[in-house]
Structure 1
Amino acid sequence: MLILFTVTLSACSINSNDKNSWNHIKQQHKVVIGLDATFVPMGYENQQGNITGFDVDVAKAVFKQYNIKPVFQPIDWSMNITELRNKTIDLIWNGFSINSQRKKVVNFTEPYLSNDQVLVTMKKSKISSLNEMHGKTLGVQAGSSGLNELNNNPKLLKQYIKNQSPVLYNSFTNAFIDLSSKRIDGLLIDSTYANYYVNHQKNPNDFSIVHSDFPKEYFAVGVRKDNDEMTNAINKGLNKIAKNGELKRICQKWFGKNYESPLLK
């Protein structure tokens, strides 16, 4: 009995001292957030070399309540879940869409923003629907929810594209360069990125944003499966900034009136 009690106490001690546990993060006043530093406007590196964006502002507002400083760590987005599992990051927070595959391996917080998959084309191509991508080259980001939806709903778009296989990119920035240079004909991308990127171009009318029938998505924070305390703390923080008006202010700062948040209904 005494041996069993001692072993149990030892296990609890190890768990509480885990450098990635919620208790340890509160003690250290620091949390490491993994993001794709090219994902405008969610989380990206600006011209001054600083990480900024919608998700950055929301994360700061949530963790300010706990006197915790978020450290934003750029990662290879296709490796986001691996980075989380390996504990090189504490969270995935960068336009991270909820889907059934990801639910199997990560905890999700409550969703805080809605999103859609859209097809971006150059207006000169005169592509105004998904089926007009027949025989055309499609770009998509590796590890993205767009790639997941493309594969899960092949009749919507995949069956039309050249070789029924997209060109994969590490970042949407490079994909937009290839789209503008006509190396690809279309780009499947999150509407939040597409709207912001196109609206901030010198000639926005050069682009077309084609809406699709892919299922509506919801952004949430990805947390390790064994960290329910972290998940609950973030949910509490998100709901607090939704109630006090801070989430709405951040949404309007980055999206104007063009946003939808499940927490603000």
Structure 2
Amino acid sequence: MKKSLTAVMLLVLSVSLLFGCTSTDSSEDTWKDLEDRGTVIVGFDDTFVPMGFKDGSGEIIGFDIDLAKEAIGRMGLEPEFQPIDWNLKETELNTKNIDLIWNGYTITDERKEKVNFTKPYLDNRQVIVVLSGSDIDMKADLEGRIVAAQNASSALAAIQAEGAAETFDGGEPILFDTYNDAFMDLEAGRVHAVVADEILARYYISERGEEKYKVLDEDFGDEEYGVGVRKSDEILLGKLNDILDEMKSDGSAEAISEKWFGENIVK
């Protein structure tokens, strides 16, 4: 009996040590670790044009990419860009697979429960895009239609907040892993409308041909972009806020905005 009890206790201790070694403590500020490592890992959706995406040669580019490079460089660190599953972005952050979520990341009350945000640096809204010949002219015309959005996106949250989804064909929007897939289905006629960030939608439209699309006057609401930081990382959050303010004051944020949008849209 004593031998059996000892064996069980040893097994429990071994399992505890195993999980203890592999667990990740997200309750401590990691600034010292980042300084020692010399890098900050930025999580992003590599299809989210023009904020952070891969070009035809596979190079990672975009407005947020340039902004992150400048801001992290001013900390004396190097950015490392890590494509992630956007559905798991907060999990990736809080398990320390990444250090920041920086890719057109909309500030919402629900997300504030999981992460801290920097000050907003860009305004956005959730627009409704249809094909140019569509008879959909207003939000009410979406009733009974097939409407698309990206999974785990702020567009989906905005639709749900208004309770509009129940009026769509099937009682819910069709969800895609990427907006590239959603727009391909719109062009093919498999969906009737796409709800998306205006910044992304305008870029897609300019790239694919403005004559093909129509953006409705009505939308699913205004929003703001911020950078997502672990709640424990107060030093990193403070440094980011100070540097983003500095970049707005010295004109470097404006220069990056002019490069990608042809005008200064930074808050």
Which range, TM-score by smaller chain? 0.7 to 0.9
Show the counterpart of 1:54: 63
Measured in 2, the distance between the counterparts of 1:253 and 1:231 equals 26
> Is the CA contact (8 Å cut-off) linking 1:21 and 1:227 kept in structure 2?
yes
TM-score (norm 2): 0.87
Show the counterpart of 2:185: 178
Map Cα deviations across residues 211-263 of structure 1 (whole Å, 9 max, x no partner).
43433110000001111111101111101110110001111111113x6332x
Aligned AA (1:26): E
Point out 4+ residue stretches in structure 1 off by more than 2 angstroms: 157-160, 211-215, 259-262
Map Cα deviations across residues 162-189 of structure 1 (whole Å, 9 max, x no partner).
1220111100011111110011000000
| Secondary structure of the structure 1 residue equivalent to 2:215 | strand
Show the counterpart of 2:81: 72
Show the counterpart of 2:260: 254
Aligned AA (2:266): S
Measured in 2, the distance between the counterparts of 1:215 and 1:181 equals 27
2:138 counterpart of 1:129: yes
| 87-96 or 63-72: bigger deviation | 63-72
Show the counterpart of 2:18: none
> What is the deviation of 1:19?
10
> Is the CA contact (8 Å cut-off) linking 1:20 and 1:87 kept in structure 2?
no
The root-mean-square deviation of aligned C-alpha atoms, in Å, is: 1.7
Show the counterpart of 1:232: 238
> What is the deviation of 1:115?
0.3
Measured in 1, the distance between the counterparts of 2:199 and 2:35 equals 32
Measured in 1, the distance between the counterparts of 2:185 and 2:66 equals 30
2:50 counterpart of 1:25: no
Identity %: 35
> Is the CA contact (8 Å cut-off) linking 2:253 and 2:266 kept in structure 1?
no
Of residues 194, 200, 206, the one that matches 2:207 is: 200
| Secondary structure of the structure 2 residue equivalent to 1:214 | strand
Unaligned runs of 5+ in 2: 1-23
Aligned AA (1:117): Q
Measured in 2, the distance between the counterparts of 1:214 and 1:138 equals 13
Show the counterpart of 1:6: none
Quickly say closer, same or farther: Cα 1:117–1:211, change in 2 above 3 A: farther
Show the counterpart of 1:107: 116
Measured in 2, the distance between the counterparts of 1:33 and 1:19 equals 19
| 245-254 or 205-214: bigger deviation | 205-214
Aligned AA (1:237): I
| 47-56 or 210-219: bigger deviation | 210-219
Measured in 1, the distance between the counterparts of 2:61 and 2:143 equals 38
> Is the CA contact (8 Å cut-off) linking 2:28 and 2:232 kept in structure 1?
no
Aligned AA (2:34): I
Show the counterpart of 1:35: 44
> Is the CA contact (8 Å cut-off) linking 1:19 and 1:25 kept in structure 2?
no
Measured in 1, the distance between the counterparts of 2:200 and 2:82 equals 20
Higher-Rg member (1/2): 2
Show the counterpart of 2:11: none
Aligned AA (1:76): D
| Secondary structure of the structure 1 residue equivalent to 2:167 | coil
Quickly say closer, same or farther: Cα 1:141–1:20, change in 2 above 3 A: farther
Aligned AA (2:160): N
Of residues 92, 96, 103, the one that matches 2:101 is: 92
> What is the deviation of 1:86?
1.1
Aligned AA (2:187): S
| Secondary structure of the structure 2 residue equivalent to 1:238 | helix
| Secondary structure of the structure 2 residue equivalent to 1:23 | helix
2:150 counterpart of 1:164: no
